[in-house]
Amino acid sequence: TVAGAVLFAIGARLSAACSIGVVGRLSSGDLGALATIGGMVVALLLLPRSALADEPPVWAGQLQVPMAVAMAIIAGIIGIVALRRGE
């Protein structure tokens, strides 16, 4: 939890916005905010995850990689749309 909070704080400082701010910046066409989404995907895939007492069902844990891939695809689509709007 502490490591996650530190990573979140560092990411918020580097992108000058929280996760909601990143979405707002993306919708305004700031493609630099895509780096934050990429960092979220990398962190999701690389950081170890500890079991919790109120752990969700086993099948829910199998969705982490597909969700990370879906996030990356959506971020790519947002980037392409933003680039085309800028032309």
Give the integer Cα–Cα distance in Å for 20 and 41.
16
When computed from its CA atoms, the radius of gyration of the chain, rounded to whole angstroms, is 15
Task: Please give the single-letter amino acid code of residue 56.
Answer: P
Please report which confidence band the pLDDT of residue 1 belongs to, taking 50, 70 and 90 as the band edges.
Answer: low
pTM (two decimals): 0.39
Q: How is residue 43 written in tokens?
A: 């962190």
Could you identify the residue written with the tokens 């680039």?
83
Give the integer Cα–Cα distance in Å for 25 and 31.
8
DSSP 8-state symbol, 49: -
The tens digit of pLDDT for each residue in 20-61 reads: 777 777 788 877 777 777 777 777 777 776 666 666 666 666
Helices and strands (DSSP H and E) totals, the chain: 5, 0
